[in-house]
Chain A
């Protein structure tokens, strides 16, 4: 029971008359990378935004570390971090100032603050450019800065929406390795992607979602076996067709 970091039960979300989520349920365990995969408009970002306390569910229940999302959003925010798909950083701040600005919201004391910054600097990798303004960074540098921001506090649950979105192969590989290494240190990750090969490499379990419904949940290897598929793309095609 203590192993469950996130529990989602019969979650529904409507935008006006449109049903974006039609009652999905899943759990994320401690130290696990759980991925939502599906095409555009499937409901992945909506699910992540609800868990990140940005959107309120129409119905259903979400618990993060035993805390009810509707009743304790503020306490949940202390335990999670969220990396949106199209996130940016404040262009007028330097990279290091941005990390310090974010770290101050989470650090209990100076020692913890220094730990956060040290960790973030090791994640971003471009120490020499951290005193430059974020506005001068490349897309890959901004994404690494944002990932460092999301992971530096060692959150109990990191919610990552398309973490390698728009990045080249090298940057994508680096980011995947960073995520993997942090999971080994005990954090849990809920991520979404429509890059199913990435998910195959990264995730412990996946939920295949389409049109607001979860079609299947399982380990990548298990799903591939069940659907006699070479990869998750074939599993997805089999499920949709």
Chain B
């Protein structure tokens, strides 16, 4: 056991390099920085925007119309200019974003159902997220004006009827059914809540798997590059210990690295999504539908994630035996990355059940697909699929670890190589 700890300490010391720490801090800082910028841009978009209006009509009706815009939540500013060109000149000179021009004779024409166009001038001064919000603002203002005018007409003709009932006579009440549970709400709302709650699971999983695999591949590649592997293989320690220690240290460092990166990513996402808390109503809907993880569900999800990491480490250690140096290790990580990216993108953007049978079978053969699908299947109560996935990953891990142990206990650990372009032969003096 002491030998095991001795080796584990050495592996961890070797892996925690200055470069690793700098890279972790830099990326986390970068994510934080982007998150802060995104947050400030989104706050600008969400903030109440000024609407500048020049009223060339000057009628009582147009004044009421402008007042109504204030009641609807727009921050209106009436310009004193008496013609359009003067108003545009003022807007340019004072860096205004949006100018609404109510044309002369607007109210009179409207009273005869001959509508004149309201002109909206939007100034583009940058191409940031906040500048794109002006379009939505124009649409909002015009929509509110339309609503006000049409409601006024309808009220005049049908004073006892709510204008909204005339415009939208049929209304629907949405219900969502998940398994045997039903609740009032829209499917889009439920999907959106579940998606926002589980968006981090595949990202975390992908990062941990990639980092751990990269670590174990690099650990073996470095032993070969620095010519330390031969010495290590002749010390009195079980070869299986060497395999397990490399996996354990890589898994641990991979987990820490992914954790630190996720901290930065969390800043980034909270900046982008504005740290939106779920409303009480939304939580109630999720509770009614039973779309919440129980403690047992978390354990199941954890086992699934853990086995996927072990499978990745097992595969990476076998691939690591075939490389000679860090450069070839970077190439060797590619097939593993593809195996992880396929289920990652499928779980993010598609439904595995909608795939054709051969493609579905192919995806399920990839052990890393199962944890990506586990969270969805747990929520939907498809526990058999989750259990089968766990059993499959366990079987794959046992096979991989037996292969890795076998390779390390024979001379294949020194003789097996994949060739990258140049021809190599084993040294033999």
- A interface residues, Cβ below 8 angstroms from B: 15, 20, 38, 40-46, 49, 52-56, 74, 77-78, 80-93, 97, 101-102, 104-106, 146, 149, 161-162, 192, 194
Assess A84 versus B428: contact at CB under 8 Å? Given A55-B414, A78-B236. no
Q: Which B residues form the contact surface with A (CB < 8 A)?
A: 2-3, 6, 9-10, 13-14, 17, 226-228, 230-231, 233-238, 410-411, 414-415, 426-429
Given A92-B14, A93-B14, the answer on whether A105 and B237 have CB atoms closer than 8 Å is yes
Contact A77 B231 (CB under 8 A): no
A15/B426 in contact, CB under 8 A: yes
Q: Which residues of B contact A85 (CB under 8 A)?
A: 429
Residues of chain B lying within 8 A (CB to CB) of residue A90: 10, 14, 226, 228
Count A-B contacts at CB 8 Å.
92
Distance to closest chain B CB from A15 (angstroms): 6
Q: Taking each of B17, B234, B237, B426, which has the highest tally of chain A beta carbons within 10 Å of its own beta carbon?
A: B234
Complexed CA–CA distance, A21 and B13 (Å): 40
Contacts of B3 in A (CB 8 A): 104-105
Residues of chain B lying within 8 A (CB to CB) of residue A44 = 429
Does the CB pair B14–A82 fall under 8 Å? no
- Give the dominant DSSP class at B's interface: loop
Q: Per a CB cutoff under 8 Å, which of B17, B227, B230, B428 touches A82?
A: B230
Q: Give Cα A104 to B411, complex, Å.
A: 25
Pick from B231, B238, B411: contact of A84, CB below 8 A: B231
Contact B17 A192 (CB under 8 A): no
CB of A53 within 8 A of CB of B234, answer: yes
User: B345 to nearest A CB, angstroms?
Assistant: 36
Known contacts A90-B226, A101-B6; A45 and B14 CB within 8 A of each other: no
Rounded to whole angstroms, the CA-CA distance of A102 and B426 in the bound complex is: 27
Complex-state Cα separation, A69 to B131, whole angstroms? 76
User: Which residue of the partner chain, among B6, B10, B410, contacts A56 with CB atoms under 8 Å?
Assistant: B410
User: Closest Cβ of chain B: how far from A90's Cβ, in Å?
Assistant: 6
Docked pose: A49 CA to B429 CA in angstroms: 11
Residues of A within 8 A of B427 (CB): 45
Contact flag A54-B233 (CB < 8 Å), given A41-B428, A45-B427, A92-B13: yes
Q: What residues of B have a CB within 8 angstroms of the CB of A83 in the complex?
A: 231
Contact B429 A88 (CB under 8 A): no
Whether A104 contacts B6 by the Cβ 8 Å rule is yes
A54-B6 contact, Cβ under 8 Å, with A90-B14, A93-B14: no
Q: For the complex, give the distance between the alpha carbons of A153 and B138 in Å.
A: 83
B226 contact from A49, A52, A74, A88, Cβ within 8 A: A88
Beyond A15-B428, A105-B3, whether A80 also contacts B234 by CB under 8 A is yes
Contacts A40-B429, A55-B414, A104-B6 known; A84 to B227 CB distance under 8 Å? yes
A194–B427 CA distance with the chains assembled, in angstroms: 15
Chain B residues in 8 Å Cβ range of A38: 429
- Give complex CA distance A104, B10 in Å: 12
A81 to B236, CA, bound (A): 10
User: Distance (Å) between the CB of B253 and the closest chain A CB?
Assistant: 13
Given known A15-B415, A89-B228, contact A54–B234 (CB-CB < 8 A): yes
| A201 vs B392: C-alpha distance when bound (angstroms) | 62
Complex: A233 Cα to B3 Cα, angstroms: 44
CA gap between A102 and B3 in the complex, in Å: 10
- Report the 6 A-B pairs with minimum CB-CB distance, sorted nearest first: A88-B227, A45-B429, A55-B411, A88-B226, A77-B236, A78-B236
Given contacts A74-B236, A84-B227, A88-B228, whether A54 and B428 have CB atoms under 8 Å apart is: no
A208 to B396, CA, bound (A): 49
Residues of A within 8 A of B13 (CB): 92-93, 97
CB-based contact B429/A192 at 8 Å: yes
Task: Select B234's contact among A20, A81, A162, beta carbons within 8 Å.
Answer: A81
Q: Write the nearest CB–CB distance from A14 to chain B, whole angstroms.
A: 11
Contact A54 B414, beta carbon cutoff 8 Å = yes
Q: How distant is the Cα of A62 from the Cα of B323 in the complex, in angstroms?
A: 30
Known: A77-B234, A92-B13. A42 touches B227 (CB 8 A): no
State in angstroms the CA–CA spacing of A173 and B426 once bound together: 30
13 A–B pairs (Cβ distance < 8 Å), ordered by A: A41-B428, A52-B234, A54-B234, A54-B411, A55-B415, A74-B236, A78-B236, A83-B231, A88-B227, A90-B228, A93-B14, A101-B6, A102-B235
Judge whether B428 and A92 touch: CB under 8 Å. no
Contact residues in B for A91 (Cβ distance below 8 Å)? 226
B11 to nearest A CB, angstroms? Answer: 10
A contact residues around B235 at 8 Å (CB): 77, 102, 105-106
Whose C-beta in chain A lies nearest to the C-beta of B426? Answer: A15
For B2, the chain A residues whose CB sits under 8 A away are 104
Task: With CB as the reference atom, state the residue of chain A lying closest to B411.
Answer: A55
Which A residues lie within 8 Å of B233 (CB)? Answer: 53-54
Considering the chains assembled together, what is the distance between the CA atoms of A90 and B224 in angstroms? Answer: 11
Name the residue on B nearest A103 (C-beta). Answer: B6
Chain A residues, CB < 8 A from B231: 82-84, 87, 146, 149
A25 to chain B, nearest CB (A): 19
**A193, chain B: closest CB distance, angstroms:** 10
Please indicate the chain A residues that have their CB under 8 angstroms from the CB of B414 in the complex. Answer: 49, 54-55
Bound: A49/B9 CA distance, A: 27
State A163–B153 Cα separation when bound (angstroms). Answer: 102
Closest B residue, CB atoms, query A105: B235
Question: What are the residues of chain B within 8 A of A88 when measuring CB–CB?
Answer: 226-228
| Residue of B with least CB distance to A51 | B234
Contacts of A92 in B (CB 8 A): 13-14, 17
CB distance from A74 to the nearest CB of B (A): 6
Candidate in A54, A86, A102 with the most chain B CB atoms within 10 angstroms: A54
Q: Min CB distance, B335 to chain A, in Å?
A: 25
